[in-house]
């Protein structure tokens, strides 16, 4: 019953459109083809940049390490240190040497931070070491005062 009603409605619409307009609609329908290439607007985005794309790769490495460490600190209740670390990272984008010195000072403060269990302590030390290495590499690249190893 539903199929018959659908066919009757379709035939009524075709009669209203008329034979001359029907040929034009058929041509337009054939002209619409699937594009062979996907327009750039609809292409999938590449991997997201964590740091600003115009920065030096070693600076980006410092910012990524700082973000990881700040997230860990915040999730373990050290909000003040996480805030300072994010501020130092923000300062790096505008005045890189000042940001690097702020990170160096913050890395000294992190030596006094302890974690509740040994696994958390190891993760903290690994993240701090990663950031310390990245900061040291950037210090050397910029030929600033040498970064003292602990």
Residue 138 lies in a domain: yes
Whether residues 26 and 78 fall in one domain: no
On whether residue 71 sits in a domain, the answer given is yes
What pLDDT digit, counting tens, does each position of 21-42 carry? 777 777 777 777 766 666 665 5
Provide the whole-model pTM: 0.59
Question: Do 62 and 119 share a domain, yes or no?
Answer: yes
pLDDT at 83 over 80: yes
Boundaries of domain holding 112: 57-142
On whether both 73 and 123 belong to a single domain, the answer is yes
- Predicted confidence at residue 68, as pLDDT, reads 92
Higher pLDDT, 132 or 39: 132
pLDDT above 50: residue 45: yes
What is the distance between the alpha carbons of residues 103 and 138, in angstroms, rounded to a whole number?
Answer: 12
Residue 92 or 150, more confident: 92
Same domain? For 61 and 126 the reply is yes
User: Do the Cβ atoms of 131 and 65 come closer than 8 Å?
Assistant: yes
Is residue 26 domain-shared with residue 89, that is, in the same domain? Answer: no
Is the C-alpha dihedral spanning 80, 84, 89, 91 positive or negative?
Answer: positive
Residue 47 within a domain: no
Residues in the chain: 150
What is the rounded CA–CA span in Å between residue 50 and residue 48? 6
Say which residue the tokens 């034979």 belong to.
19
């Amino acid at each position: 019953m539903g199929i018959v009603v659908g066919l009757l409605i379709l035939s009524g619409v075709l009669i209203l459109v008329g034979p001359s307009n029907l040929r034009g609609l058929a041509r337009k329908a054939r002209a619409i083809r699937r594009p062979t290439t996907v327009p750039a607007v609809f292409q999938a985005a590449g991997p997201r940049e964590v740091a600003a794309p115009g920065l030096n790769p070693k600076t980006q490495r410092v910012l990524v390490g700082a973000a990881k460490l700040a997230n860990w600190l915040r999730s373990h209740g050290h909000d003040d240190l996480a805030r300072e670390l994010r501020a130092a990272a923000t300062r790096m984008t505008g005045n890189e040497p000042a940001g690097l010195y702020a990170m160096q000072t913050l890395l000294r403060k992190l030596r006094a931070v302890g974690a509740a269990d040994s696994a958390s302590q190891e993760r903290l030390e690994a993240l701090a070491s990663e950031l310390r290495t990245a900061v040291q590499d950037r210090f050397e690249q910029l030929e600033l005062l040498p970064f003292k190893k602990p």
